Amino acid sequence: MRFLNTLAALIALILTQPLMAQEESYPVPPEAVPRDNVPKGRVEGPFEFRSAIFPGTVREYSVYVPALYDPAKPPCLMVLQDGPGMANGWKLPTVLDNLIHEGRIPVQIGIFVSPGVVPAPHKDAEARYNRSFEYDGLGDRYARFLIEEMLPEVAKTWKFSDNPDDRCIAGASSGAICAFNAAWERPDAFRRVLSTIGTYVALRGGDQFPGLVRKMENKPLRIFLQDGSRDLDIYAGSWWHANQAMLSALQYAGYDVHHVWGEGGHNGKHSAAILPEALTWLWRDYPQPLKPGKARERRMDLLLDGEDWQLVSEGHGFTEGPAVNAAGELFFTDIPRNTIHRVTTDGKVQVFAENTAKSNGLMFGADGKLYCCRTDDAQVVRYAADGTMEVVATGIRGNDLVVLPDGSGYVTEPTAKKVWHFDATGRTKEVDTGIEFPNGVFTSPDQTLLTVSDTRGRFCYSFQINPDGGLSAKQEYGWLHITDHGRSDADGITVDTEGRVYVTTALGIQVLDQPGRVNFVIRKPKAAWLSNVTFGGPDRDVLYVTCGDSVWKRRIRARGVDTAQSPVKPPRPGL
């Protein structure tokens, strides 16, 4: 356990050993002092835990069990990063005892989790300390560690609520951004966030959060922020300014956020002094459920009050290629099961075609027929309303396609890094090569520009369409937000009458304005691969998306275009 003791000492140094210029003192809050008349909970542990999500790591955790714990009535939950040492520095068990007794917060279990360490192989070697890797990085890895490993381990012995409104997650410094990120990634598991001296700076991408908060569809979170004006200012940025940027972004986006600023440095003194205030605020009005706030008017005001994702169909292998015909029926592919499904206007899901050679992208043409990319036999085909199939083009293992009024179109072939053009007679020609993984494809409303997504990069490519169907003026035009793994996972594309481009990505549907800037991100309906998007409905104001094994729809404040019909001139963009 020597390496765990060393880790605890390092964390203590970070959080409690201020620089001389940061010396300050705060009174001990009365709630942090034990009281004779207050039933005391107990702290079990520390226990040792080995993670599979963070291979080779060992960590400690302790469990605070409140005096009023009753397994028949699973209590709320608080998860604290940096483990028992952080909890002791905050005098958290005593604070919880007193606040629970006073009724200011609900009864809750506390799990105090340390970051992982990969032990050194021998005495002359050093351990690998996972704190920054686990805490400062973006993405859902740490949230999955809690949800899939840590919480089930604790639940073997102590019961607690699985309602995300009943859960608070907290931390200081890197532990704070870790807490926020876990709730940000998984609001289905955590919704109340306590962030003190938070590290929203450029250590591992945390400086992106203010921009993401401003752009992404709101989540049902409540956040308390604390920092001091003499916090760190080093190579990664200024903690003080970064926390103020977070506050500004959260307020702009309409989140339920509160803050307390001080003059202290990078330590736990101020946060310990205001801890009772912070927890009381986070749990105020409990058990009322938390709801997403409403942002100030954004440049893209796409969402409608009361409109959310609605399930259309589920239980498939992997869904792709949503396309809507003139009658308003939705079609989509199930790639591994070699089927194309039709959803009638009254919501019935039917098999439209079978043995479809792993069909992927779909699009209706001006002739009313359903054009389709068949991957296995490298064909572009089209289906009549009765399911009769005819071959349009051969030799292309297509992924997605777009069809124009004259029966011509474009097809992406990711494995060959190519984009193809086909004409109404079935003649094909290669019109671009070199995009790492060309995937989604769509034209501008006026049908003069072609946009192609790159799953393995961060850009959507823009081309000008030449009179002969060729492409020119290729640019890395549409800038997308990427994951912590350096890729966007961009897939399907659609466009609205304003010329805005909707791209399905790992983060959600990123909506770009005509100059290629992401203005807004619509959240995914579920945690799965968001493969494609199209507009449907009588007014073409309903987004249909394919996501993992399911299909969803949602009405928004925009209207889609049908590329198989006459061009539509979009308005002049704001530059």
CB 134 within 8 A of CB 178: yes
pLDDT at 429 over 50: yes
* Residue closest to 178 by CA, chosen among 147, 139, 216: 139
Residue 28 per-residue DSSP state = P
Phi, psi of 178 (to 5 degrees): -60, -45
> What confidence category does residue 485 fall into, taking pLDDT thresholds of 50, 70 and 90?
confident
Please indicate whether residue 454 or residue 11 has the higher confidence score (pLDDT): 454
Give 267-301 pLDDT, tens digit per residue.
999 999 999 999 999 999 999 999 999 887 777 88
Distance CA 63, CA 43 (A): 5
Give the pLDDT confidence score for residue 298 in this predicted structure.
76
For residues 437 and 81, give the distance between their C-alpha atoms in angstroms, rounded to a whole number: 39
Query: Phi-psi bin for 225: left (phi > 0), alpha (psi -120 to 50), beta?
Result: beta
Q: Does residue 1 carry a pLDDT above 70?
A: no
pLDDT tens-digit readout, 331-359: 999 999 999 999 999 999 999 999 999 99
H or E segment and range at residue 489: none
Instruction: List, for residues 89-100, the tens digit of each pLDDT value.
Output: 999 999 999 999
The mean pLDDT of 99-104, rounded to a whole number, is: 98
Phi and psi at 301, nearest 5°, equal -95, 80
Preceding omega of 276 cis (within 30 degrees of 0): no
Coil/strand/helix, residue 61:
strand
pLDDT at residue 11 tops 80: no
pLDDT value, residue 574: 82
**Which has the closest alpha carbon to 531: 508, 514, 513, 511?**
508
Tens-digit pLDDT profile for residues 115-160: 999 999 999 999 999 999 999 999 999 999 999 999 999 999 999 9
Tell me: pLDDT of 23 over 70.
no
Q: pLDDT higher for 16 or 114?
A: 114
Q: What confidence tens digit (pLDDT) does each residue in 195-208 have?
A: 999 999 999 999 99
Residue type, 141: R
Task: Give tens-digit pLDDT for 206-252.
Answer: 999 999 999 999 999 999 999 999 999 999 999 999 999 999 999 99
> What is the pLDDT at residue 19?
39
Mean pLDDT of 402-406: 97
Instruction: Report pLDDT digits (tens) over 376-385.
Output: 999 999 999 9
Instruction: State residue 18's pLDDT score.
Output: 41
Q: Give pLDDT tens digits for 513-548.
A: 999 999 999 999 999 999 999 999 999 999 999 999
Q: What is the pLDDT of residue 9?
A: 54
pLDDT at 573 over 80: yes
Domains identified in the chain and CATH numbers:
2-17+28-282 (3.40.50.1820), 310-555 (2.120.10.30)
> Residues of the chain with pLDDT > 70: what percent?
96
Confidence band, pLDDT 50/70/90 cuts, at residue 7? low
Helix (H) or strand (E) segment spanning residue 272: helix 269-282
Mean pLDDT over all residues of the chain?
95
pLDDT tens, position by position, 155-174: 999 999 999 999 999 999 99
pLDDT at 81 over 90: yes
By CB atoms closer than 10 A (0-12, 13-18, 19+), residue 68 is middle
Which band of pLDDT confidence, cut at 50, 70 and 90, is reported for residue 4?
A: low
Strands 167-172 and 76-81, by their bridges, are parallel
CB-count burial class (<10 Å; 0-12, 13-18, 19+) for 390: exposed
217, 520 contact by CB (below 8 A): yes
Average pLDDT of 1-16?
56
Region 458-470: mean pLDDT is: 97
Residue 21 is predicted with a pLDDT of 43
Does residue 468 register a pLDDT over 90? yes
